[in-house]
């Protein structure tokens, strides 16, 4: 009984350490004072001020735009890549999967600088296009890892059976394979979208003048001092990411059933 209580207390202590700063931030986003350390009443005015801030609204527009476009491209590329990897020979499959894991294990700063160097080498002007390409580059491996398990669960003779019945490879892929792996594709797309929304380092090194996402905007604002609008913005971002993670986990549990 005592050991069980200690385990529970230790777990709660860890969660308190992780989430106490976020809870404080969310509480003070409703504080009726510019002083972020003193409570002076409840208000929603910082959320209204946030909606009237042109810089943040522009950053929000670019954040959502980059996230949607890069997630869609990464989902298509990752799905096709996973399909090709699945039908490779064993040693080639292992080699490609190890290569696919490198961007995931690689520090973001290394990935960001290397992509920036590549764009500069090709004389591409840093801006919206380079940011989207950079997000696609680090999202694709996650989509591959989301789709591959669904392909492995599928019967190995499914594609051959469809083609034996007269289906073309493309028709068999669209009508037979895609419905089987649809849940993995959706999960991969949601993960890519969430990662893109949350990214700072890779975006910072691969953007140009006039193109800023929320992470960069918050970083720039924080250097001049924490404002109540930042608390409100961070609260909305946390809630949004939390909802996305709940949806992803719910879908994963449904797939396991």
User: Which DSSP category does 31 fall into?
Assistant: B
Which range of 15-19, 38-42, 52-56, 220-224 scores highest in mean pLDDT? It is 15-19
CB-based contacts of 94: which residues, under 8 Å, 6+ apart?
none
Q: Residue 18 half-sphere exposure, CB side, CA atoms within 13 Å?
A: 6
Q: Residue 257: its pLDDT value, please?
A: 58
234 phi/psi in degrees, rounded to 5: -65, -35
- The percentage of the chain sitting over the pLDDT mark of 90, rounded to a whole number, equals 25
Q: Residue 155 half-sphere exposure, CB side, CA atoms within 13 Å?
A: 7
**Mean of the per-residue pLDDT values for the chain?**
85
* Residue of higher predicted confidence among 99 and 245: 99
And the tokens for 66?
């980059």
pLDDT band at 116, cuts 50/70/90? very high
Q: Residue 211: its pLDDT value, please?
A: 86
- Single out the residue of 253, 218, 239 nearest to residue 60, CA to CA: 218
pLDDT band at 68, cuts 50/70/90? very high
Q: Residue 221: its pLDDT value, please?
A: 77
- Using CA of residue 125, residue 127, residue 132, residue 137, what is the dihedral sign? positive
- Domain locations in the chain? 1-53+227-257, 55-225
42 phi/psi in degrees, rounded to 5: -95, 140
Burial label, 218 (beta-carbon count in 10 A; 0-12, 13-18, 19+): buried
Judged against a pLDDT cut of 70, whether residue 2 lies above it is answered with: no
- The percentage of the chain sitting over the pLDDT mark of 70, rounded to a whole number, equals 94
CATH fold for domain 55-225: MetI-like fold (1.10.3720)
């Amino acid at each position: 009984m005592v050991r069980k209580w200690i385990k529970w207390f230790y777990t709660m202590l860890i969660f308190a350490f992780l989430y106490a700063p976020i809870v404080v931030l969310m509480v003070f986003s409703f504080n009726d004072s510019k002083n972020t350390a003193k409570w002076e009443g409840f208000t929603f005015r910082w959320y209204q001020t946030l909606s009237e801030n042109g810089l943040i609204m522009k950053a929000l527009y670019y954040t959502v735009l980059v996230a949607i476009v890069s997630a869609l491209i990464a989902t298509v590329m990752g799905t096709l890549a996973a399909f090709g990897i699945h039908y490779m020979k064993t040693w080639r499959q292992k080699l490609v999967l190890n290569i696919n894991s490198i961007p995931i294990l690689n520090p973001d700063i290394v990935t960001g600088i290397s992509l920036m160097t590549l764009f500069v080498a090709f004389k591409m002007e840093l801006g919206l296009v380079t940011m989207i390409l950079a997000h696609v580059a680090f999202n694709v491996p996650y989509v591959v890892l989301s789709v591959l398990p669904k392909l492995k669960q599928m019967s190995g003779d499914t594609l051959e059976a469809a083609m034996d019945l007269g289906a073309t490879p493309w028709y068999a892929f669209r009508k037979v394979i895609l419905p089987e792996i649809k849940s993995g594709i959706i999960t991969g797309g949601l993960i890519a979208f969430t990662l893109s929304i949350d990214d700072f380092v890779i975006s910072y090194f691969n953007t140009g003048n006039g193109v800023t996402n929320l992470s960069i905007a918050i970083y720039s604002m924080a250097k001049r001092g924490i404002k109540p609008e930042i608390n409100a913005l961070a609260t909305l971002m946390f809630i949004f990411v939390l909802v996305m993670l709940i949806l992803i986990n719910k879908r994963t549990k449904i797939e396991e059933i």
